[in-house]
Amino acid sequence: MSTFTIIIVVLAIGLVGAFFGYRQGKVLTASENGVRPHSRPVYHASYVASLAVIPALLLLAVWLIASPIFIASDVRASFPEGVLAQSQLTEDLAYGIVESLGTGLQVLPDDERETITETTPVKDISALLRERGVPIASASADWMVPLALQLNGMQFWSRLAMTVAVIALSVFGAFWGYRQIAMRLRSRNKVEGIIKGALIVASSIAILTTVGIVFSMLFETIDFFSRISPVDFFFGTVWEPRFSNVGSSGNAGSFGFIPLLAGTLYIGAVAMLIAVPIGLFAAIYMAEYASRRTRSVVKPLLEVLAGIPTIVYGFFALVTVGPFLRDLSAQINGLVTGDYASFIQAQSVLTAGLVMAIMLIPFVSSLSDDIITSVPGSLRDGSLGLGATRSETIKRVILPAALPGIVSALLLTASRAIGETMIVVLAAGVAANLTIDPLEPMTTITVKIVAQLTGDLEFNSPQTLVAFALGMTLFVITLALNVYALYIVRKYKEQYE
């Protein structure tokens, strides 16, 4: 039975169990002598269904994960000595061929499959399979045939055992739950526990995924640092990995991280410098001054900006803002010195910062607006009642009260600015310069991650692995920012509550 069918069957058993549980619950409710059962029928039904479905599906999941591992180790144990003596890679490759032979054999019609025995040469099988459109690697060998057959046999029995075990467990669970139904069975509380468990599982998945992502980067990062010294990476001021010769070890190029970090922080800082005041002022206007009608129009409009894909901002930078700044600088230069040469390049830190700021404004204003509006109205009244003007109230009461929230909103915005890629590629270019002139191109960590991973380099060369080191560093930076934001929020909350 296929996995899907098994799941359907288990769910069906759960449904039937629920039906009987409900009926039994009804019987209890209707029973005489005026005693009310502890739980309503619907809880008995959910309880029976949960007992039928949850353990069975858990067993199914564990089995599906565990059985290939056991089968593989069993099959590999019977590999010839010669193969086992070679590298892990060769062994993996051989197992891959055995697996595809096994899958291929299942595709064959029954009469053809019966002709194949443990002694059939692999060439014949390959020919047969090729007719069916299943290619088999040329590295196949005759000793693999019996193993493929063994593999198929084990898989067959494993699946059969799994089907029986899962369905039996499901039926048993349903029956057991049904038998428990009684006046005093607290299925209402038990269902509560099951719901809590489900919620915990959901949140653990989110956390475990994060951990998984970190680990997937961690190993590659360690691999990278085993080839390039961390000191060269973190303190190097030259980023030239492309110029190194792949394969010629000893000269892997320079992986100086400083120019990228500087570019990231510089562009982010320019963006924040523009976006924060504008966004904050917009938020203050919307929260404190705008009438309800204005607010209902302006706020969605601002939030539309937040929905624009960043690549579109990139176009805007590339075709509009960049050339505009370049031409503007040419005009200014011409008017001042008579020499119409532009001093702002079309791709520059300024362009990227400016366009990124436009992207961040709705982010800042929307978050801050929510925070400012959540400051209790009583504080506003208190200040106005003392004869303060609106702006005095905002400056001296509202903003201080909203400060922790606003700071954390700004730090969140900063993490976005640091993680932004598309705008930077199009607006500031990909040249890893180390400069303090905002009118020159620079680039950021994320841009270089993309550049290193999309090149046609070997996957295990430092040129590619550096992307993971960069990703890991970026992760740590944004994590630190977020943790700091949480810390600030907590500190001020204690003070003001």
Partner 1 sequence: MMENLQASFNKGPSVDSSKPIKMKTKDVTVHYGQKQALNGITLNIPENQVTALIGPSGCGKSTYLRCLNRMNDTIDSAKVAGEILLDGEDVYDPDIDVVELRARVGMVFQKPNPFPKSIYDNVAYGPKIHGLAHSKQELDEVVHTSLRRAGLYKEVHDRLDEPGTGLSGGQQQRLCIARAIAVSPEVILMDEPCSALDPIATATVEELIDELRENYTIVIVTHSMQQAARVSQLTAMFHLGDLAEVGPTEKMFSNPGDKRTQDYITGRFG
Q: What is the token pair recorded at 33?
A: 């002598």
Which of 296, 382, 480, 483 is close enough to bind partner 1 by CB under 8 A? Answer: 382
Instruction: For residue 289, state whether it binds partner 1 (rule: CB under 8 A).
Output: no
The single residue among 250, 301, 385, 456 that binds partner 1, judged by CB under 8 A, is: 385
CB of 326 or CB of 380, closer to partner 1: 380
Instruction: Find the binding residues for partner 1 in span 86-115 (CB under 8 A).
Output: none
- For residue 386, the minimal CB distance to partner 1 (Å) is 4
Rounded to a whole number of angstroms, the minimum distance from the CB of residue 484 to partner 1 is: 21
Candidates 254, 383, 443, 461: give the one binding partner 1 (CB under 8 A): 383
Token output for 352:
């990227």
**Judged by CB under 8 A, which of 33, 133, 291, 436 binds partner 1?**
291
Say how far residue 390 (Cα) sits from the centre of its chain: 44
CB atoms within 10 A of CB 3: 15
Pick between residue 16 and residue 388 the one whose CB is nearest to partner 1: 388
Residue with Cβ nearer partner 1 (247 or 387): 387
* Per-position b or e across 377-394, b if 16+ CB within 10 A of its CB: eeebeebeeeebeeeebb
Query: Is position 381 an interface residue for partner 1 (rule: CB under 8 A)?
Result: yes
Which of 1, 269, 384, 457 contacts partner 1 by CB under 8 A?
384
Residue 327 CA to residue 344 CA, distance in Å, equals 8
What are the residue ranges of helices labelled H in 239-291? 258-284
Contact between 297 and partner 1 (CB under 8 A)? no
Pick out residues in 43-62 that bind partner 1 (CB under 8 A): none
CA distance 319 to 179: 73
CB of 296 to partner 1, least distance (A): 12
To 5 degrees, how large is the angle CA 199–CA 205–CA 206? Answer: 100
Give the interface segment with partner 1, choosing from 70-78, 375-383, 414-422, 470-478 (CB under 8 A).
375-383
Contacts of 442 (CB under 8 A, 6+ apart): 259, 262, 263, 266, 267, 349, 428, 429, 431, 432, 433, 434, 435
Q: Which of 96, 121, 309, 376 binds partner 1 (CB under 8 A)?
A: 376
Nearer to partner 1, 119 or 495 (CB): 495
Q: Rule CB under 8 A: which of 206-245 touch partner 1?
A: none
Please state, in angstroms and rounded to a whole number, the distance separating the CA atoms of residues 224 and 457: 14
Residue 302 C-beta: closest distance to partner 1, Å: 21
Q: Smallest Cα–Cα separation from 398: which of 376, 416, 421? A: 376
Supply the minimum distance, in Å, between the C-beta of residue 450 and partner 1: 45
Which distant-in-sequence residues (6+ apart) come within 8 Å of 213 by Cβ? Answer: none
Say how many CA atoms lie within 13 Å of 207 toward its Cβ: 6
For the bound state, the minimum distance from the C-beta of residue 378 to partner 1, rounded and expressed in Å, comes to: 4
Residues in 135-164 that interact with partner 1 by CB under 8 A = none
Q: List, in sequence order, every residue forming a beta bridge with 216; answer none if it has no partner.
A: none
DSSP-assigned states of every residue in 370-403: HHHHTS-HHHHHHHHHTT--HHHHIIIIIHHHHH
In the complex, what is the shortest distance from the CB of residue 373 to partner 1, in angstroms, rounded to a whole number? Answer: 14
What's the sign of the alpha-carbon dihedral 401, 405, 406, 408?
positive
Kindly determine how many residues on this chain lie close enough to bind partner 1 according to the rule CB under 8 A: 23
- DSSP calls for 75-97: HHHTS-HHHHHS-HHHHHHHHHH
Q: List the interface residues with partner 1, window 457-496 (CB under 8 A).
A: 495-496
Task: Between 80 and 376, name the residue whose CB sits nearer to partner 1.
Answer: 376
**Subset of 387-416 contacting partner 1 (CB under 8 A):** 387-389, 392, 396-397, 400-401
3-state SS assignment for residue 255: strand
Identify whether the C-beta of residue 491 lies closer than 8 Å to the C-beta of residue 404. Answer: yes
Binding window for partner 1 (CB under 8 A); candidates: 362-370, 372-380, 413-421, 465-473: 372-380
Q: In terms of CB distance, is 287 or 447 closer to partner 1?
A: 287
Nearer to partner 1, 131 or 497 (CB): 497
Residues forming contacts to partner 1 in the complex (CB under 8 A) are 291-292, 376, 378-389, 392, 396-397, 400-401, 495-497
